[in-house]
Amino acid sequence: MKRFPLFLTMILLFVSVVHGQDYEPYFEEIDCPFPEDSIDVSCGVLVVPEDRSDPNSEEVELVVAIIPAANGNPLPDPVIYLEGGPGGSALFAVEDFQRHPLRQDRDLILIDQRGTGFSYPSLNCYEAEDPEFSSDPDQACYERLLDEGINLSAYTSAASAADINDLRIALGYDVVNLWGISYGTRLALTILRDYPEGVRSVVIDSVYPPEINSIEQGTEDALRAFNEIFIQCAADADCADAYPTLEDDFYSMIASFNENPPVFEYDDGEETYELELYGDDVLDALFQTLYDSRVIPMLPYGITLLANAQDDFDYQDGYDIVSGYWTAEAWDAGFTEGGEESIFESDMVLDYMDEVGGIDDSEGMYNSVECGEEVHFNDLDAALGVVNSAPAELQEWLQASAEGLFFSCSTWAVDESSAIENERVISDVPVLLVSGQFDPVTPPYYAESALQGLSNGQHVVFPTGGHGETGSAGCGGDIAHAFFANPMQPVDTSCVPQFVEWYIE
């Protein structure tokens, strides 16, 4: 079945047929697939084979956005940003990257990796949002993508690493700097392994190294992150005094809400409706909120308010706080954080993606990578063994989390990767590793594991941090910028906050 590119109606683009290893990376400038009025950016598309082992492979078109150095005089080695997920769209945040310190004196290059964002083909699974496919959206998406002629086994970290190296070559750079967050760190490590000659230095933040069996470890990682709230609050005299029963309140609330979920009037800003809140819903929200260091200081207050709620207002406020909608400053000022931009949210691009039917996250790419490279190295029984030793209030939630990817991969049949995708990467390229102590999914010990293979690596831990500390202007971004300036020198960490300033009402 012939595939037609996303940009056929946007540009007149001629590309020669790709033949195995005989091709040359091809980059064509295009109009950006989003409004450019308010931002300084140019765009292009990189054309590469879908299956690099097949001389008659279909092509994939990878959309690239280049943000020029703010000083107008860029250094010769740009920074290529590698989005997480797997499946996230880098271009989703293009507006916010305008303010990042890494573009101060280097061009900052964003690429929607194969299968993601504006790139073609997209492995977005709209079935996940369609009630028609609620019984098994993964299976429905898998079958549709196969019917479209997509080789789902070709969407791997190794293939994406080759794409990034091709981008470097096509743009004419001898070497580049890599900056990856979350899954982007695994992709960066894969590039270091396979194409070290093209890499000057690397920043990997919230490190997801291949040698970690993340499903087996995931249960302990979630428990560790939840416990970090209780440990750090108890160690702070003011927090301990304000919330003396925080841990007990938390566990009793989860048990109570799962057994008898409260029902209350909830206002989401657009409409008001009755919300039935289960304890597992609270755990889902709290897990995601631990990604964001800006809202972590509110969590003891939010947990306490929700656990002791007396009316609909208490339930609404407590749940909103636990869901990460409020910073301390916003709470005191009386407005929500949700209207402010972060490095991960661009209203301009989000609005345009909604308009054209684009999305910021590709479930199909996530499944192809995780099912091909992660699941078969993990033992579900080992993961469930940890679940059985966890607090009873959390066991059902932890079990569902551990089993989820195994269930998805039972219908998402792709080739299993070789053993190298479960091995530590060895490199002497200078690497800065960054972690947040509260990170629930890529905790600091993941970075410590990766560091063992990086002879010129250094690791910075943010004691107050979550997931993606380098993702915005501020201390994390400044440290990354300083590292790229002198990657063989120890970075100055004096800006790193050492203690959480817990919110006390």
**Angle made by CA atoms 146, 150, 152, in degrees to the nearest 5:** 85
Is 415 a member of any domain?
no
Distance CA 437, CA 224 (A): 10
Same domain, yes or no: 246 and 289 = yes
- Domain of residue 237, residue span: 214-339
Q: For the full predicted model, state whether its pTM sits above 0.85.
A: yes
CATH of the domain at 80: 3.40.50.1820
Q: Does residue 414 sit within a domain?
A: no
Residue 117 lies in a domain: yes
Residues 32 and 172 occupy one common structural domain: yes
Domain boundary among 314, 339, 364: 339
Indicate the residue among 339, 363, 391 that finishes a domain: 339
355 phi and psi, to 5 degrees? -65, -40
Question: Is 160 in the same domain as 14?
Answer: yes
What pairs with residue 177 in β-bridges?
79, 201
180, 249: one domain:
no
Query: Are residues 121 and 269 part of one domain?
Result: no
Residues 453 and 478 in one domain: yes
154 in any annotated domain: yes
In which order are the strands placed within the sheet that holds 199-205? 26-30, 42-49, 59-67, 108-111, 79-82, 176-181, 199-205, 431-436, 457-462
Residue 362 lies in a domain: no
Per-residue tens of pLDDT for the chain, all 505 residues: 335 454 433 333 333 333 345 678 899 999 999 887 778 999 999 999 999 998 889 999 999 999 999 999 999 999 999 999 999 999 998 998 999 999 999 999 999 999 999 999 999 999 888 777 777 899 999 999 999 999 999 999 999 999 999 999 999 999 999 999 999 999 999 999 999 999 999 999 999 999 999 999 999 999 999 999 999 999 999 999 999 999 999 999 999 999 999 999 999 889 999 999 999 999 999 999 999 999 999 999 999 999 999 999 999 999 999 999 999 999 998 855 444 433 334 343 344 344 434 457 899 999 999 999 999 999 999 999 999 999 999 999 999 999 999 999 999 999 999 999 999 999 999 999 999 999 999 999 999 999 999 999 999 999 999 999 999 889 999 999 999 999 999 999 999 999 999 999 8
Asked if 279 and 307 sit in the same domain, the reply is yes
* Preceding amide of 86 cis, omega within 30: yes
Same domain, 199 and 245: no
Could you tell me if residue 392 is inside a domain? Answer: no
Statement to judge: residues 170 and 285 lie in one domain: no
- 505 in a domain, yes or no? no
Task: Please indicate, yes or no, if residue 434 is contained in any of the structural domains.
Answer: yes
Clarify whether residues 26 and 175 are in a common domain: yes
* Residue 77 sits in the same domain as residue 129: yes
Q: How far apart are CA 329 and CA 336, in angstroms?
A: 9
- The structural domain count of the chain equals 2
What is the CA angle 118-182-196, rounded to 5?
85
